[in-house]
Amino acid sequence: MNQMVLVSSSSEVEAHVRATIDAWPEVGLTVLPTPLPPDAGTLLRALGTEQAPDVVILGPVDTPGCVLTLAAGLAELAPHTSVVLIGELDAEALLEALRSGVRDVLPPGADLATLRAALERAGSSALAQRSSAGPVPTRRRTDAPRARVITVVSPKGGVGKTTVSTNLAVGLGQSEPGSTVIVDLDVQFGDVASAMQLSPESSVLDAVGSSGADSMVLKTFLTPHTSGLYALCAPEHPAGADQVSGEDVTALLQKLSRQFRYVVVDTSAGLTEHTLGALEHTTDLLLLCGMDVPSVRAMRKELDILDELGLTGPTRSVLLNYVDSHSGLTVKDIEGMLGCTVDIELPRSREVPLSTNRGVPLLAAGSRDAAAKELAKLVARYAPPTTERPQRRVRHLLGAR
């Protein structure tokens, strides 16, 4: 890291940031006075340097309504810069912030260890972005959006694949209604329909049985959900799994990716024929494991197999579920066993089983639970930021008067 920038009206926040930066002699800190610059260009010009900072820390500030616009502008003008926001946000506002380009959100009272960890993550992300080969192109609004097929896998059952898949799909569906479809590839015992309180008239079996169907016919097999997404559910009877091949799955996902911007695929445990078929057309792989040794070891084996097969995809993320401090393991222990970084930590929560039993995903219910906030962060990893935010809406989300 080379440079961090702080824009804050809080002397306490400034003192905490300075105390954290003191441990990194190679990092410089620039403190800009509040109020916030009106846009990203003004902020960058105020620094008086040719190179954009690695990390920009915002808040708590006097004009919170500018935060999302500023973050989105930095995402456009300085793609490698990581933005860390200090503020108390509910799940909806958090999702808006992360979608606008904010890398992390911390509560105002975060201790030094939490602040340091967040700044380390932000700095590492900035360095990775800067060192990637070639310039980062600016996406034009006239460009055709590229479909993202996000496949959720795990070697073992009971780790929360369906919970994660349904909440991810709900969040993406809320961001752009009509843009998202979730496919239940646990063809024998899938429960996406139950988790979303759906009563489907058709299933994956019907969709693959109409291999020559055009896009309009294919859409008749989908079940709409109130959040603005569509679902292609598992067959009612487990015997239907024998009539679906891996090639059928690949062809199905190809068709769906031509109709939808996001295709979320919930899979069964292990590397079944259906899962392997989905991985052939996956753009983003999301791997889940629980916070227990058997689950982590199984994940390590699955990672090795997928690497050998060349099926880890262009983008791979690891989600650790049921995170708590009483498991006898730490996140670092698990990263050591996996041989890779944990990208998302989903805390253990009493709200999750309640939402499953009600058939209402946390993000559909507008929950303020800690797990809902982390799921919102997960959604923001896939939903693109946009600078086109109505100012009145932004101020409302961040609590401005």
Q: Which amino acid is at 265?
A: V
Examine the pLDDT at 240 and tell me if it is beyond 80. no
Q: In this predicted structure, what is the pLDDT of residue 318?
A: 94
118 or 51, which is more confident: 118
Give percent of the chain above pLDDT 90. Answer: 37
pLDDT at res. 132? 46
Report the pLDDT value the prediction gives residue 401, as an integer from 0 to 100. 35
User: pLDDT of 147-192, one tens digit each?
Assistant: 899 999 999 999 999 999 999 999 999 988 889 999 999 998 999 9
Higher pLDDT pick, 345 / 26:
345
Specify the pairing of strand 344-347 against strand 315-323. parallel
The lowest-confidence range among 95-104, 191-200, 206-215, 249-258 is 206-215
* Residue range 325-348: mean pLDDT, rounded: 90
pLDDT tens across 252-292, in order?
999 999 889 999 999 999 999 899 999 988 999 999 999 99
pLDDT at 63: 52
291 touches 217 (CB < 8 A): no
What strand order describes the sheet that includes 230-232? 223-224, 230-232, 180-184, 262-266, 148-153, 284-289, 315-323, 344-347
Q: Rounded CA gap, 274 and 218, in Å?
A: 19
What is the distance between the terminal CA atoms of the chain, rounded to a whole angstrom?
Answer: 36
Calculate mean pLDDT across residues 116-137. Answer: 65
For the segment 126-142, the average pLDDT, to the nearest whole number, is: 47
Query: Quick one: average pLDDT of 34-41?
Result: 78
**Is the separation of the CB atoms in 223 and 231 below 8 Å?**
yes
The pLDDT value recorded for residue 130 is: 63
Report whether pLDDT(139) > 60: no
Q: Is 369 helix (H, G, I), strand (E, B) or coil?
A: coil
Q: Per-residue pLDDT for 145 more than 60?
A: no
CA distances from 400 to 6, 10, 61, 279, 348 (A): 21, 17, 11, 44, 32
Write down the mean pLDDT value for the chain.
82
pLDDT at 64: 52
Average pLDDT over residues 90-102: 73
pLDDT tens-digit series, residues 217-229: 687 889 999 888 9
pLDDT in tens, 60-78: 755 555 677 788 788 777 8
Across residues 344-351, what is the average pLDDT? Answer: 92
Question: For residue 241, what pLDDT band results from cuts at 50, 70 and 90?
Answer: confident
Quote the percentage of the chain above a pLDDT of 70: 86
Task: Say what the pLDDT of residue 196 is.
Answer: 94
Cα gap 174→226, rounded to integer Å: 9
CB 94 within 8 A of CB 374: no
What's the pLDDT at 58?
Answer: 86
Which residues are registered as beta bridge partners of 289?
320
What is the DSSP annotation of 31-99?
EEPSSPPSSHHHHHHHHT-SSPPSEEEE-S-S-GGGHHHHHHHHHHH-TT-EEEEES---HHHHHHHHH
In whole angstroms, what is the distance from residue 183 CA to residue 266 CA?
6
The residue assigned the tokens 């058709």 is 202
pLDDT digit string, tens, across residues 103-113: 788 888 888 88
CA quadruple 114, 115, 119, 122: dihedral sign: positive
Can you give the pLDDT at residue 399? Answer: 41
Tell me, what DSSP letter sits at residue 20?
Answer: H
Exposed/middle/buried for residue 315 (C-beta within 10 Å: 0-12, 13-18, 19+): middle
Asked whether 101 and 386 are in contact (CB, 8 A), the reply is: no
pLDDT reading at 386 higher than 80: no
Q: State both tokens at 43.
A: 């902020």
Distance, CA of 131 to CA of 181 (rounded, Å): 34
Query: Cα angle vertex 273, ends 208, 380, to 5°?
Result: 80
| pLDDT over threshold 60, residue 231 | yes
**181-204 exposure pattern, b = at least 16 Cβ within 10 A, e = fewer:** bbbbbbbeebbbbbbbebebebbb
Mean pLDDT across the stretch 327-340? 90
